[in-house]
Structure 1
Amino acid sequence: MRRRSLYYITHAVGNKIQITTVFIIFELALLLFRFIVSCFLISCMTLLGLLLSSDSGNKILLQITTLLTVIMFSLLLSEIMPPSSHAIPIITVYFMCVMIMPVVSVIASVLVLLLHFRNSKNYTMPLWPKESLVTRWKSDPFARGSYSYVAVGATGDDYDILGRPVEYPGDKIPRVYFAGEHTNRNYPATVHGSLLSGLREARRIADTFLGSIYEISAP
């Protein structure tokens, strides 16, 4: 199947008018099988490369092969395709998107493999994550939060009431346990109070359901 486009170019030569007829014939079969099907197959290869697991060992090879295929196909099309009036042709935008996807996939795969095979034997963890994240709330005197005063009209008994477990009438085992910064009367509204209340409720649950053989302490 062919598509024909007819253009008339009129210009004057002296006292005569010269009309030039230009026929542009598009082979739809050529356009379909050479361009559309090829672009579709390249897109499928790119998507399959994105879905392939990094542990398979062939993901990076497949994406690099796809990238080289896209580059070679774009070079061939640049010689075959007629010039376009658009500043950036649609086929150029397509190839840019298809080329970006394998590059991003390869970078992500390399990062995943680096994190997957990283262990204590070939990598030493620096001290700054442990120093910047406070993990010793109970033992570090500089990380116990800022102290605050009890609200006007309230006493420490109110904090004890808020931290008291809730029991259903007739049950011997509490159903709900409360912990938080407003359930500790010694360190109200502080992170340290939250930690101590959590340890307190953990001991209660352990004593109730597991017995007193389990010792729970803060890091």
Structure 2
Amino acid sequence: MAPMLAALALLALISVSEQGPHEKRLLNSLLNSYNTLERPVANESEPLEVKFGLTLQQIIDVDEKNQILTTNVWLNLDEKNQLLITNIWLSLEWNDYNLRWNDSDYGGVKDLRITPNKLWKPDVLMYNSADEGFDGTYQTNVVVRNNGSCLYVPPGIFKSTCKIDITWFPFDDQHCDMKFGSWTYDGNQLDLVLKDEAGGDLSDFITNGEWYLIGMPGKKNTITYACCPEPYVDVTFTIMIRRRTLYYFFNLIVPCVLISSMALLGFTLPPDSGEKLTLGVTILLSLTVFLNLVAESLPSTSDAVPLIGTYFNCIMFMVASSVVLTVVVLNYHHRTADIHEMPQWIKTVFLQWLPWILRMSRPGKKITRKTIMMSNRMRELELKERSSKSLLANVLDIDDDFRHVPPPPNSTASTGNLGPGCSIFRTDFRRSFVRPSTMEDVGGGLGSHHRELHLILRELQFITARMKKADEEAELISDWKFAAMVVDRFCLFVFTLFTIIATVAVLLSAPHIIVQ
């Protein structure tokens, strides 16, 4: 009998604590005389305090082509149009003076879920909204407790304006503000208070592959606008995110450095290969493609130049300069003596001083400071000696001594005596230039053997002049080729140094280098 009595007692208790009729009666009692337009305060002169909070969940996706960053609190950053699109949970909590009851009078009912269109709720909107509907919240039920406490947590997708700073792209931090406040109630009627002084709730945040969340602080502001004399209260949350640079580092910066190094290797390519200029132009086009990829992921603004854009422009300037200097190298390499004459300053710079600085030398000719000074001294002596010789001696490249040596007494033009020193040859040779005469005159005054010697002399002079000219041309062509090689080596050192300095300067000037 004891178990049966216990079961009957339990059924009696369950029937007494049934909630359905009590909740219906409570709703009728609360809502029959409830006015949704009435601000629920006991004293009309006091403001209604509303606690405001925000919960961030997850950064979901980044659509680089459409410049959209999708998150789940959800954060969506449109860099192209400088928009911040968020799907967040708002938390509004206030105390409604008209929604209080004694739970013991209604069967122990301590809370209710009431649709928001049946109750008064604060008209909190996002001031910097860029949505067409302005308010993107989804209407959910309001949780009402017996002490008058109301909790309203509407989720929604918010699209807000956000000033994107691309100065340090891709090593940039972005701060996007979300400003919430009452649209019609001033600070004397409705007072917004931060639910958590630390800012938004990040306890359930899941990391994203592109953006690293630094924080989401909140701040309460009281502002008097030009339209209205009353102060208005707002709560501003700042979403601070940092771009993860590992992707951009290995997909933009590293390929750019490798391509620029290929441009440097172009200076080691022999000019006779025929691919020297083609390599430089191809590298320049490749950098242009990479720069276009960067430009597509940036907003169309002239407020700032991104750091990676500056770096790419420097590298492109270097590669373009290398193409120009490659043209100069090819021009020097293929110059001939028939068309170009090497100026003295090119000989001094590209054949003496630059090879000495770059530790370059030609086969069998070691270039040192001493040899440069001796070469300059020999050239000065040669110019001085040539200036002291007669015009005839300079033209024929012979000595002036024959003008001062008297002919031997036994050597005359008529006897044809070829004595020691070939005095007759010297006499006839001297006469042939002292007084102008034709071959017939020479032949008439001399014998046949004298005429043959004179013709042989002229042939020897012609052959010697041709051989000397060929040697001079070959030496000049060799000088031009060596000058082209010196320019190549000089550009290799200069542009290598420029690439290293530009890369290091960009990385050191960035606020942070790699965020994984």
Q: TM (normalized to structure 2)?
A: 0.23
- TM-score normalised according to structure 1 size: 0.48
Structure with bigger gyration radius: 2
With CA pairs under 8 Å and 6+ residues apart, which has the higher RCO, 1 or 2? 2
Q: Which has the higher strand share?
A: 2
